[in-house]
Amino acid sequence: MMRPLQSLHQPRAFARRALRQHAAFSSSTKSDYVVVGAGSAGCVVASRLAEGGASVTLLEAGDASTLRGPLSILTRMPTALSMPMHWGRWNWAYETAPSPALDGKRVSCPRGRGLGGSSSINGMVYVRGHALDYEAWADAGCRGWRWVDVAPYFKKMEHWAGDDADGLRGRGGPLHVTDGANALGTPLYEAFQAAGDAAGYGRVADYNGRRQEGLAPMPMTVFHEGPRRGERCSTFAAYLEPAMDAHDALSVVTGARAARVEFDGTRAVAVATTDGRRFEAEKEVILCAGAIATPQLLQISGVGPADLLESLGVDVVVAADGVGSNLQDHLEFYFQFAVASGSLAPYLAPWRKLLIGLRWLLRRDGLGATNHFEAGGFVRSAAGKEYPDVQFHFLPVAVSYDGVTVPHTASGHSFQLHVGCNRSKARGAVAAASPDVETAPAVDFAYMSHDDDWTDYRAALRLARELVGHMDLEGVEEVTPGASCATDEQIDEYLREHLESAYHPCGTCRMGDDAGAVCDAEGRVVGAEGLRVVDASLFPSITNGNLNAPTIMVAEKLSDAILGNAPPPPVAHAMDHPRGHVDPKWATRQREKPFYTDANPP
């Protein structure tokens, strides 16, 4: 049935309410909690606290245009995912420091701006991470963050559309998660997943289930039922919009950029915005501004390294050397191939894109309702890696992220792998460049600054090349970087030029119990009162794969901590397998089943 087109062009009730609230506030207002940032974490925290009976003011620097007006089709239609990231209205577009190891290249660092934050402009890929990621968090001093502790929150937050043989997946949660409709039975997707078995890695039905290692369908955060079926499922749409309709004590203020946190002694009492307003918190100020903006806001508010604050002329409220340090990310490169047929290349023609868009408008299905990353997987780059450290995203057409650069192939068909390593030892930093929040901070990821990074990425490229060799397809030919890129030196040269961020910054206000930790295991800023961080800044170490799902999980878990709620029931499979799936011979083999060739017979 055709949906009313007016919903694409007219503000919904939530948008009108948000704008009215924006206009109605005087120079100061008061609530139990002031939450800064309506992104992947902030939408969750604000909605859960309101659900728990608290009064909440949620401040968002951006506006409601990600969810209202004719341009909102670009954020709500999954296939348009590359477009919102290139709009300054929806993207902070931080500029990184030149990377010495990458010949001085500056790497793009987009971050979501507006309702839903990065969950409104990201690639929608849904990855929980490996159980051992969370064991590492606990081992780093984050008590209560082992896999058995976080699995119930992943289950709570999900509304999973697929099978759940092990009882690990959630039903009925706010966040819709589904496999794409194209991966199963479509030749290129099928050939990629089948190559997992042929190469000895295995093929798994759900890498968010019992076993991560292997090749699998790649689920995405897209509504799979209800009136928004086929639309992006951002945290705004999943959490905040329903909460705004249900709770009068939840106030969402758009166009409100936090200028600083105000303190009475070491107690956070309010947030001042750049337009001169002041929002008082009776209980807590909660920063959910993300791994770049949260440490910047802390620093210009007087919480951070004393020497940095003094250089900025900011009075020191809490001296905390760890604020802004421990910055981590995932890098990736595109591995592009020609193929005889079966790719999405013909659909890049403007008239075909128009038909895809029209079908989505009318029916909310087809190629408009997918991010196209419908298959992927995780493998180990070498023996001695206890669990996967390489991630693949499979895309059934070779194209740059902006959708502009398409390699020429004789057949006109192509595909690509996005290949990335998950656990770099490199650590960068975020540092405020001015006490004025409008001045962008200095962002230095220290990309590829550890020798192991080069070893791991060389191995990942060679393994990806070998894996594609196991795909049962006609006319496969490597386009980029090309078969002549073979030696370590040639691979390194290619990596220096082509490595890009996977857009997963985290770690800059890490949890822990050591002297360098910024926050305790419940997100409270050490040395301050009434001040908490709830976003990817808290991650002690980066998790396997895309970070949106772990960020939402953190927000769910800490919302319960703030309210004093009991956690959800334990998950039996996580209790029985607290370390997840690990190859029993991981120390001596790189994959569980050896593959055989004429040169390497059984």
Residues annotated as catalytic (active site), given as ranges: 504
Q: From the CA atom positions of the chain, what is the Rg in Å?
A: 23
Burial class (CB in 10 A: 0-12, 13-18, 19+), 483: exposed
Nearest CA among 353, 361, 290, 270 for reference residue 32: 270
How is residue 580 written in tokens? 């997840």
How is residue 328 written in tokens? 């981590």
**Contact by Cβ (8 Å): 71, 47:** no
Q: Distances from the Cα of 27 to the Cαs of 262, 278, 531, in angstroms?
A: 15, 6, 22
How is residue 282 written in tokens? 């009776």
How is residue 65 written in tokens? 């245009």
Residue 419's beta-bridge partner residues? Answer: 333, 392
**Contact by Cβ (8 Å): 287, 312:** no
| Residue 51, SS3 per DSSP | helix
Q: Is 210 left (phi over 0), alpha (psi -120 to 50) or beta?
A: alpha
How is residue 336 written in tokens? 């592009």
Q: Using CA atoms, how far apart are residues 339 and 412, in angstroms rounded to an integer?
A: 8
Angle at 59 between CA 305 and CA 557, to 5 degrees: 75
* Cα separation of the two ends of the chain: 57
Query: Which runs of consecutive H residues, i.e. helices, occur in 113-203?
Result: 131-139, 147-157, 187-199
Residue with tokens 């120390």: 587
How is residue 553 written in tokens? 């999980």
Q: Using CA atoms, how far apart are residues 327 and 446, in angstroms rounded to an integer?
A: 9
**Contact by Cβ (8 Å): 209, 217:** no
Q: Using CA atoms, how far apart are residues 510 and 326, in angstroms rounded to an integer?
A: 7
